[in-house]
Amino acid sequence: MGAVTPIRFLTGLVFLALLGGCAERSTEEGAAPGTGAAPAVVAATTAAEAEVSAKGQTVVVAGVVDGDTIELRSGRRVRLVQIDAPEGDQGECYADEATDALRAILPKGTSVRLEADPRLDQLDGYGRLLRYVVKGEQNVNLLLVRRGAATVWFYHGDRGAYATALLRGAQRARAAGRGLWGACPGTPFDPLHAASTGTAEAPPPSTPVTCAGAISWRDAASHVGEEATVQGPVVGTFFAAGSNGQPTFLNLGRDYPDPARVTVLIWGADRAKFPGPPEDLYAGRTICVTGTIETYQGVPEIEASSPGQIAIAG
């Protein structure tokens, strides 16, 4: 090989310097930190993740935090998007009942699908995932609103894919006095703001007795063994479709597992006598139920074998 001339040697040094500078700039400005990936690769990965998230990611529920937030086995928290439930840490009316309602739908170990909405933010200010939670084919966000366990909240006015259905569900729940709408009178209906149900410490207004001779659900424990008509708000329902006898439970005054509640029991063999699923017919309504008051594990209970035993009072 011939000797390298000074000019060729200097030219090579300049070329290497320029090449090193380009490589350094590419690492600083174009690649994902710590990955060395090029911008096009990062963009493609992000788009792919967004597509998977939009179609739905199956996860397992580790627990319910409050009426609109769950925690996953991975440790991530999910805020159910486009809805809002009363806050327990602020002592709001119906906060405990809202949490119980979500816990009844999504007990620990439930597999659900998380559905992202490209029209909305993907994370909130606390780093929680903003998602629709789907159990089987059931949109839990929408179910909570329809039951009155939450209201609709279009944060910053943003309307997602289910905005119309959520709005209609909230309006119908309010008109029927279901859930928080019946338990917390005066709650404003404002889709652009968070739920404002007032404080739980405020004494609830007395419910007008519209059933002759009815006693309050609070007094049912004093009438065990008697035939009576008990009046109270249905704050929680549950259809145990997979259990022996397929019972339906309507909880008056307090929701399961509060021992101060009164339970109305409808066996599966009697469900066909009702004009619709009892857990939907009576959810959030104030009812008067007539029958013999018994106890089960210390909780007052009335068996209702026909719709004639139950009257809707409000």
Kindly report, residue by residue over 89-110, the tens digit of the pLDDT. 777 899 999 999 999 999 999 9
**Which string of DSSP letters, residue by residue, matches 85-140?**
---GGGTBTTHHHHHHHHHHHS-TT-EEEEE--TTS-SB-TTS-EEEEEEETTEEH
What residues does CATH 2.40.50.90 cover in the chain?
Answer: 52-183
Structurally, what CATH architecture does the domain formed by 215-312 represent? Beta Barrel (2.40)
- Whole-number Å distance between alpha carbons of 111 and 252: 29
Residue of 128, 131, 174, 285 with catalytic role? 128
pLDDT in tens, 99-147: 999 999 999 999 999 999 999 999 999 999 999 999 999 999 999 999 9
Among 16-30, 106-120, 171-185, 250-264, which stretch is predicted with the lowest mean pLDDT?
16-30
Residue of 87, 113, 218, 303 with catalytic role? 87
Whether 146 is a known active-site residue: answer no
CATH of domain 52-183: 2.40.50.90
What pLDDT is attached to residue 281?
85
Report the chain's mean pLDDT, rounded to a whole number.
Answer: 81
What pLDDT is attached to residue 158?
92
pLDDT band at 176 (very low <50, low <70, confident <90, very high): confident
For the chain, the 3-state helix, strand and coil shares in percent, each to the nearest 5, are: 35, 25, 40
Whether 87 is a known active-site residue: answer yes
Q: Say whether the peptide bond before residue 257 is cis (omega within 30 degrees of 0).
A: yes
- Whole-number Å distance between alpha carbons of 274 and 88: 35
pLDDT in tens, 200-242: 544 444 344 458 789 999 999 999 999 999 999 999 999 999 9
More confident residue, 162 or 5: 162
CA-closest candidate to residue 266, choices 237, 293, 228, 305: 305
What pLDDT is attached to residue 200?
58
Q: How far is CA 14 from the centre of its chain?
A: 63
What residues does CATH 2.40.50.140 cover in the chain?
Answer: 215-312
